[in-house]
Amino acid sequence: MPQLALTEAVFYILLSLQKPLHGYGIIQNVETLSNGRVKLAAGTLYGALNSLVEKGWIDALPENPESRKKEYVITKSGMNVLKEELARLSELVDNGKRLLGGN
Amino acid sequence: MRRVIHKIFWIWQLEKEQAWVNEMASHGYSLEHAGRFTFVFEETEPDKYIYKELFLKGWGESTENIKYFKFLEEMGIKVVCYINYPGTCWVYVRALKEDYPGGIELYSDIDSKIQYQKTMAFYMIFVSVITFLAASLNLSVVISALAAEGRFMWLNSLCAGFMYGLFVASVIATVKAFVNMSKLKKERTIHE
């Protein structure tokens, strides 16, 4: 079964978690990646992180006793989902470019 | 210097209450504690903090909410106080205005905004049912006492009136939540 589209927030969260990051780090990273366009709000990020952990697409790392901030990192199945989504997005972009003639 | 103000806001006046607290903060009175009808402000420099009122499932001290509060704190959003109600709590959070110049927005996509309104709507339905039952029970006591003994039960009529008031308030809040939800759902069919 083809996978359903990921939300923009989830796509950027998974992309950010190639290396371990805590919540605020994710928000900053997504903002940088999107040149300031996507600003994740704390509550939305919190909900997304919990759902992603539940799905097994990301892992919550054991808490660092110094910073006391929880860090997250992508899992193998998260990587697969991300790659499939990238293929889906490429299809959209390719078709868009082909039919609109823009390049 | 501390300043204590007693003020009543009804359940559907969440935005009004929040706007008032933020206006106080812009004049240099920062909310330190809020009770049901009491607001305690501390004098600070004007515009130091920006406030937001949240509605959450479960009490403030529940494990789930404590985890959430800790997460928010990592983002520079601190819980000022919360008031527990059956199955829910109203929370005041604040952040430095320089960190959140446009105000604290906790939801950045439509889905989580819908979820928030849904939680609110269901809670308000629950409150409507309870208050309606309580009001009707009191009213029936008043009517039967009046019919049987010709006695007018002041306390029960007062209770009934108050509960009918709360009932109307929660119905208004329910309708408001459903209207917000349907607007968001319409938007959701074309946008994420």
Supply the pLDDT for residue B154: 92
How many interface pairs between A and B have CB atoms less than 8 angstroms apart?
A: 44
A69-75, long-range: CB < 8 A, 24+ apart = A69/A22, A69/A23, A69/A24, A69/B74, A70/A22, A70/A23, A70/B71, A71/A20, A71/A21, A71/A22, A71/A25, A72/A17, A72/A20, A72/A21, A72/A22, A72/A26, A73/A17, A73/A19, A73/A20, A73/A21, A74/A14, A74/A17, A74/A18
> In a mutagenesis test of the A interface, which of B52, B63, B64, B71 is the best target, namely the one with the most A β-carbons within 10 Å?
B71
Q: What is the pLDDT along chain B (192 residues), one digit of tens a residue?
A: 899 999 988 877 888 999 999 999 999 999 999 988 899 999 999 999 999 999 899 999 999 999 999 999 999 999 999 999 888 899 999 999 999 998 999 998 898 899 999 999 999 999 999 999 999 999 999 999 999 988 899 999 999 999 999 999 999 999 999 999 999 999 988 888
C-alpha–C-alpha distance, residues B150 and B152, integer Å: 7
> In a mutagenesis test of the B interface, which of A46, A66, A92 is the best target, namely the one with the most B β-carbons within 10 Å?
A46
Domain presence at residue B104? no
Tell me the residue range of the domain where B150 lies: 110-188
ipTM over 0.90: no
Domain presence at residue B166? yes
Q: Residue A44: its chain B contacts at CB < 8 A?
A: 106-109, 112
Given a cut of 90, whether residue A73 has pLDDT beyond it is yes
Domain presence at residue B102? no
Q: B160 CA to chain A: closest CA distance, Å?
A: 39
Q: Are B83 and B120 contained in the same domain? A: no
Domain presence at residue B122? yes
Domain presence at residue B45? yes
Q: Are B55 and B135 contained in the same domain? A: no
Which residue among B55, B74, B96 closes a domain? Answer: B96
Q: Are B124 and B52 contained in the same domain? A: no
Given a cut of 60, whether residue A103 has pLDDT beyond it is no
C-alpha–C-alpha distance, residues B8 and B17, integer Å: 9
- Amino acid B49 reads Y
Domain presence at residue B68? yes
Q: Are B130 and B91 contained in the same domain? A: no
Domain presence at residue B53? yes
The two three-digit tokens of residue B33, written as one number: 């504690």
Cα separations in angstroms, B10 against A69, B71, B85, B121, B166? 37, 30, 14, 16, 9
Domain presence at residue B105? no
Q: Tell whether A69 lies on the interface with B, counting CB pairs under 8 A.
A: yes
We find that the CATH architecture of domain A8-100 is Orthogonal Bundle (1.10)
Supply the pLDDT for residue B36: 85
In the block, residue with structure tokens 């005041």? B92
| Tally of structural domains, chain B | 2
Q: Are B121 and B183 contained in the same domain? A: yes
DSSP state of A64: P
